[in-house]
Amino acid sequence: MSHNLFATFAERMRERGDADFITTHGGRGYSHREALAASARLAGALTVLGVTPGDRVAVQVDKSPEAILLYLACLRIGGVYLPLNTGYTGEEIRYFLTDAEPALFVCRPANAGEARTIAADTGCPTVESLGTASDGSLMEAAACAEPRDDIVARGEHDLAAILYTSGTTGRSKGAMLTHRNLGSNAATLVEAWHFGADDRLIHALPIFHTHGLFVACNVTLMAGSSMLFLPKFDADVIFEELPRGTVMMGVPTFYTRLVADDRLTPEVTANMRLFVSGSAPLTAETHQAFEAKTGHAILERYGMTETNMNLSNPYDGERRAGTVGMPLPGVEYRITDRDTHAPLPRGEIGMLEIRGPNVFAGYWRMPEKTREELLEDGFFVTGDLAMVDEHGYVHIVGRDKDLVISGGYNVYPKEVEQVIDELDGVHESAVIGLPHPDFGEGVTAVVVPEGDAHLDEVRVLDHLQGRLAKYKQPKRVFFVDSLPRNTMGKVQKNQLRQQFEDTYR
Ligand code: ATP
Ligand code: MG
């Protein structure tokens, strides 16, 4: 029996026929039937270009419906889809092509020249381009290719994709994801979030990341729903489209921007049934403000490149602000001692570990890293610190690598940030550990003031007196205009640590 994920998608697409599958704000798009046919032509083109089962297809293109058809074509012929962040420079692409050894690199039309040079240097045999207006050499190849209507048989442990992690804590790692990993998670999410054929997803996320690609697109495909494909988050367009949508998936920055906008009302969101947030922590404050303005409680969930989605607030039942909910069906978790992996009692903070059919097959060409993080009993060490409250909801406390150890005491940045954020005039903050001659690490706060609020170091430190134990209080407070964030809204604490590294030296 074949386990090719595309077979399930194709069945749904045949059933849905002329119903919309994917449309742009400008109205361009494909019905399910058209998408199936177009992806068959792209599959034909990939075959002519020499892609065989198991070959990687590296893709760095701007968001378009055709990029998703390429993903489908790749699955169909048993290829391994390998999307790359559109922000990567030529030098970074050189690293990824060297690491992944793809049989084909699909780039933006404007980058074709540079892409050819890099491909030649790194031994990648073929380069094609794909633009956002159904243009590019790949689409030309597809127009003359013989469509491939067959679906290549795949085993459940065969790779469907290699997705590089965001590189928040170090160099990006290629997570090897199987047909079973992606298929099981999509099916679970369709159930958990009640996706159906009538849903219309407002899709404003990038498609080189697990959130916008696998969560959003696989769920849409698995449920036979449709999606509105937007190149990026643009509040004007979102407000125009909300009355026609039923679900939106976003990163927390989408929601903070919507909350700050007067157009956010119960009326404009009346047709929507679900708002999902993930990829970075959503503050309880944003969650509450969004509910107050719309009547919708945002559903926050937790996942990562290596595992797709693991934990989710309930669809029915209380969605607790500041938590990521409970394990999805089929997913197990445990919270363990950081060093021994021994499970800890409920309520204690420890390493979050995950096991289930969604957990990846390992890091591409990094056997040692894989051994460190994928334990023999099947649990994956997420690198996130968490605790479970008395209601069974999981709280993500922060990343293990961001934990500050000052004078031998553990300081959890989120706890300190939450107290700083309560101070009037603070917009947001990030707490980091910096090398310190006496304490090992010195707790340090980086604060973004609200508007033109007048804040100084003494005000912030005074506010913390009596609210936090002495060892948790920052030794220094710095002010910045904004925190460095990546496209998924993740705060780049590495950059802050670098910027202030000499503070105590
Ligand atoms: P790298 O692994 O390369 O350092 P990364 O971990 O940021 O980068 P991703 O796989 O894109 O790469 O992100 C997964 C991480 O995002 C999780 O480990 C977690 O730290 C964070 N995350 C995702 N969802 C949430 C959430 N709802 N709340 C808090 N953190 C979240
Ligand atoms: Mg990670």
pLDDT tens sequence across 71-102: 999 999 999 999 999 999 999 999 999 999 99
**Nearest ligand to the CA atom of 302:** 1
Within a domain: 12: no
Report CA-CA distances (Å) from 250 to 20, 157, 390.
Answer: 22, 30, 28
Residue-wise DSSP of 26-61: TS-EEEHHHHHHHHHHHHHHHHHTT--TT-EEEEE-
- Sites in the chain below the pLDDT cut of 50: none
> What is the structure's pLDDT at 460?
97
Does residue 145 sit in the same domain as residue 93?
A: yes
Beta strands in 340-379 (DSSP E): 350-355
DSSP 90: H
For residue 68, the domain's CATH number is 3.40.50.980
**What is the CATH classification number for the domain harbouring 471?**
3.30.300.30
Which of 215, 279, 309 has most ligand 1 atoms within 8 Å of CB, for mutation? 279
Contacts of 11 (CB under 8 A, 6+ apart): none
Judgement on whether residues 133 and 238 belong to the same structural domain of the protein: no
Query: Does 427 lie in the same domain as 368?
Result: no
Cα atoms found within 13 Å of the Cα of residue 106, Cβ hemisphere only: 31
- Contacts of residue 367, defined as CB under 8 A and 6 or more positions apart, other chains included, come to none
Q: Is 477 strand, coil or helix? A: strand
438 within domain boundaries: yes
Same domain (yes/no): 372, 420? no
Note whether residue 209 is domain-resident: no
Domain-terminating residue out of 162, 182, 202 = 182
Looking only at Cα atoms, what is the longest distance across the chain?
73
Last residue within a domain, chosen from 399, 431, 446: 399
Say if 20 falls within a structural domain.
no
Looking at the fold, whether 266 and 136 belong to one and the same domain comes out as no
Mutation to probe ligand 1, out of 312, 490, 493, 494 (largest number of atoms < 8 A from CB): 490
Q: Whose CA is nearest to atom 28 of ligand 1?
A: 281
Measured in angstroms, how far is the CA atom of residue 295 from the centroid of ligand 1? 28
Among residues 319, 320, 444, 305, the alpha carbon closest in space to that of 362 is found at 305
- Tell how far the Cα of 241 is from the centroid of ligand 2, in angstroms: 32
Buried b (16+ CB within 10 A) or exposed e, 230-247: beebeeebbbebbeebbb
Q: What is the pLDDT of residues 240-273, one digit of tens each?
A: 999 999 999 999 999 999 999 999 999 999 999 9
Q: In this structure, are 380 and 237 located in the same domain?
A: yes
**What is the C-alpha separation between 501 and 497, in angstroms, rounded?**
5
Task: Please report which helix (H) or strand (E) contains residue 406, including its range.
Answer: strand 404-406
Q: Cβ-count burial of 458 within 10 angstroms (0-12 exposed, 13-18 middle, 19+ buried)?
A: exposed
The CA distance from 370 to 176, in Å, is 11
148 and 105 inside one domain: yes
The answer to whether the beta carbons of residues 80 and 162 sit under 8 Å apart is yes
Please check whether residue 11 lies inside any domain of the structure. Answer: no
Q: Give the three-class secondary structure for 445.
A: strand
Residue-wise burial string across 4-23, b where 16 or more C-beta atoms lie within 10 A, e elsewhere: bbbbbbbebbeebeeebbbb
Going from the Cα of 164 to the center of ligand 2, the distance in angstroms, rounded, reads 10
Q: What is the pLDDT of residue 1?
A: 81
How many domains does one find in the chain? 3
Task: Choose one of 399, 424, 450: the last residue of a domain.
Answer: 399
Does residue 277 share a domain with residue 355?
A: yes
Ligand 1: atom nearest CA of 211 is 11
The span from the CA of 408 to the CA of 20, in Å, is 58
Domain hosting 271: range is: 233-399
* C-alpha–C-alpha distance, residues 206 and 194, integer Å: 23
Position 318 scores a pLDDT of 98
Query: Judging by DSSP bridges, how do beta strands 127-129 and 104-107 pair with one another?
Result: parallel
Domain assignment present for 208:
no
Mutate to test the pocket of ligand 1, among 88, 163, 172, 305 (most ligand atoms within 8 A of CB): 305
Q: Are residues 237 and 341 in the same domain?
A: yes
The whole-angstrom separation of Cα 474 and Cα 464 is 9
CA of 210 to the centre of ligand 1 (A): 10
- Residue 483 is assigned to a structural domain of this protein: yes
Distance 353 CA to ligand 1 centre (A): 13
Do residues 385 and 261 both lie within one domain? yes
Residues with CB under 6 Å of ligand 1 are: 165-170, 172, 278-281, 300, 302-305, 324, 382-384, 396, 399, 490
pTM of the model: 0.96
CA of 342 to the centre of ligand 2 (A): 21
Kindly state whether residue 395 falls inside one of the protein's structural domains. Answer: yes
Q: ipTM exceeding 0.95?
A: yes
Are 395 and 424 part of one and the same domain?
Answer: no
Residues 53 and 135 both lie in one domain: yes
